[in-house]
Amino acid sequence: MPLESKIFIVIGCVLLSAANGLAAFGFHVSPDVLPPEEVQNWFWAVDMQYYFGGGLIALGILIKLLGVSWFFRIAGVLMVLGLMIFGGLLYIQALTDYVSPTNTIPTGGQMLIFSWLFVAIGVLMAKA
């Protein structure tokens, strides 16, 4: 199995495991820690973490089936970085008074959008 497959599958599994814990935290935490008005942001970040954790596992399997390509590598990096920026800042914003700079969270979201486009191009360009 290519190293990229292993890396993306392991990262995806870790993200899914963490998403389970973060979802449980969101359900059981005191309103003093996670204000009710921030619960929606918290669970939006958890949802995205589930989607892109699964996406990274799927990407690892695609790489195993279709071979390594720069499109797949870029897609994986965009998924990880986009999730760190988008989801990470939503988690921080939900727990603290921090308000991210205007375009920071949308930039993470754009990275997530483009990651799927890179997956699609990688599939179309695959020789297998």
pLDDT digits (tens, 9 = 90+) for 8-23: 999 999 999 999 999 9
Q: What is the pTM of this model?
A: 0.92
Query: With the C-alpha atoms ordered 4, 10, 15, 16, is the resulting torsion angle positive or negative?
Result: positive
Instruction: Determine the residue type at 86.
Output: F
Contact 45, 94 (CB under 8 A): yes
What is the distance between the alpha carbons of residues 98 and 109, in angstroms, rounded to a whole number?
A: 19
The tokens describing 26, both together, are: 């969101």
> In the chain, where are the structural domains located?
3-123
| Interval 36-67: pLDDT, tens | 889 999 999 999 999 999 999 999 999 999 99
pLDDT value, residue 104: 85
pLDDT value, residue 99: 79
pLDDT value, residue 127: 87
pLDDT value, residue 58: 98
- DSSP line for 10-65: HHHHHHHHHHHHHHHHHHHS-TTTS-GGGHHHHHHHHHHHHHHHHHHHHHHHHHHH
